[in-house]
C-alpha cells in the first residue's frame, strides 16, 4: 500500500488532470487507511487544491522553470510547500518525506524545499506585501493580485470585483479557501434533531443546530461522516441545500418530481417532509449517480420514491405533479470551498453555456406542474446569468407562472424579489440561488 504522502500526490494528480472530484478520488485511494492517515491525506490534497497558484508563485521564486519537472514531482513539491507554509509538521518531515518519493529529481526537490524553509520568513513578507499593495491598487489590478494570492482564475475574481467591489470580493475568495463546516440534515423519520445533537456531544463532537434550517446540525469538524456513527439517522447536506427543499414545501400525499435528483440528498429531504407518503419521482440521466441515490434512500429507510433514468428534456407524465424541483446542472461556483478543483475546471464561457441549458430544462419541465402547483428552480452558482437572468427569461416566455415572494422558513434577509441567495462569506453556507414559482389555476 502506498504511503499517505504518496497517496496524496497521486490524488492531486488525478484531480488536476482528470474528471474526478476530490472526495471521490480520496475515497477510492484511501478507503482502507486509518482515520489519522486519511485526515492527513485530505488536508494535503484539499490544501494544495485551494492554494495551487499561490504555491506555484512561491515555486517560481525558487526555480527558473517549475514547469520543466514531471507533474508528479511538481505535485510533490506543491505538497511540501503546503506543509511548510500552512501545516504544523516537523521541518525535516516536510522535506525528507518528499525527497524519499523521488528518483532522478531527488536533488531538485531537496534543494527547493530546503531553500523554501530558509526563506520562509522572507516569502511570507513578500506575500503580505502583495496583499497590502493590492488594497491600494485600482480594482482590476487588485483583482489580478487577489486571484494569484487566493488561487482563483483572474476572470472569476474580476467578475466579482466588478459586481461587489474589491473588499467584498476579497471576502468571498477568502471564504472559498476556508475549510467548510460539516453540516448534517437529520432524518426526522428515525430521530429528532435534539437527539442527534446530544448524541454527537456525548461522543465529543462539538456541534449546534443550524440557525435557519430546522432540520440541520453543524459541526466544526473535518471528520468523515462515516466516523460519526449516524448512518441512517442523518446525512451530509449543507444548510443552503436544505433551504431549497423547504422552499418546495411538499405536503404528505402529494405527487412530486425531483427533476435532477442524483445523488439524492434533496430527494430524501422531500420524502422526510412528506412523511414518506405520496409519490416522489426521482429523475436523472446518470445511471451511476442514480445508484448512489438508491443507496442513500435505502439507508434512510425511504419507500415513497420511484427512480427513473431518463433525460429531462422531453420527459412527460400525463398526470403531472403538485410540486416540481429542478436543481439544475450549473457552474457550481457556489461550492468552491467544498470542491476547490472547480476553480481550475471552469472557463468564463461556461456560465453562458450553463445558462442556456438551465433555461431549456426549466422550460421543458414547466408543463409537468399541475395548475395551482409549485415549481422550484435552484442552482449552486453565485452568478446571476444562472439564476435571476434564467428566471426572468422564463417568465417572459411562460405567462402561467408567478414568483412566490413569501416562503416559510426563508428569512427576508436571504431573499430579494422572491429570489433566495446564500453566500459562503455572508452566511457561512454554500452559494445557492433558488426561486419558488406558482402555476396559475
Contacts of 258 (CB under 8 A, 6+ apart): 266, 267, 270, 280, 281, 282, 283, 325, 327
**Strands of 234-236's sheet in order across:** 207-209, 216-219, 182-186, 234-236
Q: Distance between CA atoms of 376 and 406, rounded to whole angstroms? A: 13
Q: Which residues of 164-196 are buried (b: 16+ CB within 10 A; e: fewer)?
A: eebeebbbbbebbbeebbbbbbbbbeeeebeeb
DSSP label at 181?
A: P
DSSP string, 20-46: --HHHHHHHHHTTS-HHHHHHHHHHHH
Half-sphere exposure of 206 (CA within 13 A, CB side): 4
- Identify the active-site residue in 207, 260, 330, 380: 380
Residue 208: phi and psi, rounded to 5, are -155, 155
207 is catalytic: no
DSSP string, 331-395: --GGGTTT-TTHHHH--HHHHHHHHHHHHHHHHHHHTTEEEEEEEEEEES---GGGTHHHHHHHH
Q: Distance between CA atoms of 61 and 156, rounded to whole angstroms? A: 25
Task: Decide: 247 and 420 in contact? Cβ < 8 Å.
Answer: yes
Contacts of 178 (CB under 8 A, 6+ apart): 337, 424
The interaxial angle of helices 4-17 and 22-30, nearest 10 deg, is 150
3-state helix, strand, coil in the chain (%, to 5): 55, 15, 30
236 forms bridges with which residues in the sheet? 184
Task: Decide: 179 and 148 in contact? Cβ < 8 Å.
Answer: no
CA 182 to chain centre: 12
Closest alpha carbon to 355 in 323, 337, 336, 333: 333
Question: Catalytic amino acids?
Answer: 380
Amino acid at each position: 500500500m502506498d504511503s499517505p504522502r504518496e497517496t496524496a500526490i497521486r490524488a492531486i494528480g488525478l484531480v488536476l488532470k482528470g474528471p474526478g472530484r476530490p472526495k471521490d478520488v480520496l475515497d477510492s485511494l484511501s478507503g482502507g487507511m486509518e482515520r489519522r492517515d486519511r485526515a492527513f491525506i485530505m488536508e494535503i490534497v484539499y490544501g494544495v487544491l485551494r492554494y495551487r497558484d499561490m504555491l506555484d508563485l512561491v515555486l517560481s521564486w525558487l526555480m527558473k522553470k517549475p514547469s520543466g519537472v514531471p507533474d508528479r514531482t511538481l505535485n510533490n513539491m506543491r505538497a511540501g510547500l503546503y506543509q511548510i507554509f500552512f501545516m504544523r509538521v516537523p521541518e525535516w518531515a516536510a522535506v525528507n518525506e518528499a525527497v524519499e518519493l523521488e528518483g532522478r529529481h531527488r536533488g531538485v526537490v531537496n534543494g527547493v524545499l530546503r531553500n523554501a524553509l530558509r526563506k520562509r520568513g522572507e516569502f511570507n513578507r513578500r506575500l503580505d506585501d502583495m496583499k497590502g499593495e493590492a488594497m491600494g491598487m485600482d480594482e482590476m489590478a487588485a483583482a489580478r493580485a487577489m486571484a494569484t494570492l487566493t488561487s482563483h482564475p483572474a476572470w472569476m475574481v474580476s467578475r466579482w470585483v466588478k459586481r461587489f467591489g474589491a473588499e467584498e470580493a476579497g471576502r468571498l475568495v477568502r471564504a472559498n479557501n476556508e475549510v467548510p463546516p460539516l453540516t448534517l440534515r437529520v432524518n426526522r423519520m428515525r430521530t429528532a434533531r435534539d437527539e442527534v445533537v446530544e448524541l454527537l456531544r456525548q461522543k465529543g463532537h462539538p456541534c449546534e443546530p443550524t440557525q435557519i434550517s430546522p432540520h440541520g446540525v453543524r459541526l466544526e469538524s473535518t471528520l468523515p461522516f462515516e466516523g460519526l456513527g449516524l448512518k441512517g439517522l442523518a446525512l451530509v447536506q449543507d444548510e443552503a441545500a436544505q433551504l431549497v427543499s423547504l422552499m418546495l414545501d411538499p405536503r404528505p400525499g402529494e405527487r412530486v418530481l425531483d427533476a435532477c435528483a442524483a445523488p439524492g440528498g434533496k430527494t430524501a429531504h422531500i420524502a422526510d417532509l412528506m412523511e414518506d407518503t405520496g409519490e416522489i419521482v426521482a429523475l436523472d440521466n446518470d445511471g451511476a449517480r442514480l445508484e448512489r441515490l438508491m443507496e442513500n434512500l435505502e439507508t434512510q429507510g425511504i419507500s415513497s420514491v420511484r427512480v427513473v433514468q431518463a433525460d429531462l428534456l422531453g420527459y412527460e407524465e400525463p398526470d403531472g405533479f403538485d410540486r416540481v424541483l429542478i436543481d439544475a446542472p450549473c457552474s457550481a461556483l457556489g461550492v468552491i470551498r467544498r470542491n476547490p478543483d472547480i476553480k481550475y475546471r471552469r472557463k468564463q464561457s461556461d456560465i453562458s453555456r450553463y445558462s442556456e441549458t438551465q433555461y431549456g430544462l426549466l422550460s421543458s419541465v414547466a408543463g409537468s406542474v399541475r395548475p395551482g402547483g409549485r415549481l422550484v428552480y435552484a442552482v449552486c452558482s453565485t452568478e446571476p446569468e444562472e439564476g435571476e437572468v434564467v428566471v426572468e427569461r422564463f417568465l417572459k416566455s411562460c405567462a402561467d407562472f408567478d414568483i412566490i415572494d413569501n416562503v416559510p422558513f426563508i428569512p427576508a434577509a436571504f431573499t430579494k424579489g422572491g429570489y433566495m441567495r446564500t453566500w459562503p462569506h455572508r452566511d457561512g453556507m454554500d452559494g445557492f440561488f433558488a426561486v419558488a414559482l406558482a402555476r396559475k389555476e
